[in-house]
Amino acid sequence: MKKNKHMTVKGEIKDRGQIKWTAMMLTEHVQLLKDLKKEDRYHTKPTLDDFDLENLYEEIRIAYMRPCEIELRLWQNGDLTLTGLITAIDLNKKTICLEHSERTETILFTDIIGAKTME
């Protein structure tokens, strides 16, 4: 029995999953289903537990103390990645000033979902 990437075998039954239904659909319907799958990934903001938040703030602190580039993953109606230098941290307003590509952006702590120093 030949298997391809779309076929799964469950006992004696060979199942092609969703691919078996695309032959009966119009191309517009297939495109709408693909768009729906793309939109599903962007609606929910990832939740960070205490361990993740601690690692996140540690990376930000290291990047600020020794001026080095940092890659921040933000959540603003979808996943966004910015790379730059942290110029200031305001604990009262809970914001970070990130200088990237000759401009400075103010980022809220709550928007940050990931950080990685670029050394």
End-to-end CA distance of the chain: 50
User: E strands of 22-111, at which residues?
Assistant: 70-75, 79-90, 95-100, 103-108
Assigned token pair, 14: 């060979």
At 74-85, the pLDDT tens digits run: 988 778 899 999
Whole-prediction pTM: 0.63
Integer Rg of the chain from CA: 22
- 8 A C-beta contact, residue 67 and residue 104: no
At 8-52, the pLDDT tens digits run: 666 666 666 656 665 677 788 888 888 888 776 666 788 899 999
At 58-115, the pLDDT tens digits run: 999 999 999 999 999 998 877 889 999 999 999 999 999 999 888 999 999 999 999 9
Question: Which domains occur in the chain, in start order?
Answer: 8-42 (no CATH), 50-117 (2.30.30.100)
Cα–Cα separations (whole angstroms), residue 82 to 17, 18, 66, 118? 37, 36, 19, 12
Alpha-carbon distance 83 to 114, whole Å?
Answer: 12
| pLDDT for the residue 108 | 93
Residues whose CB is less than 8 angstroms from the CB of residue 61 and which lie 6 or more positions away in sequence, other chains included = none
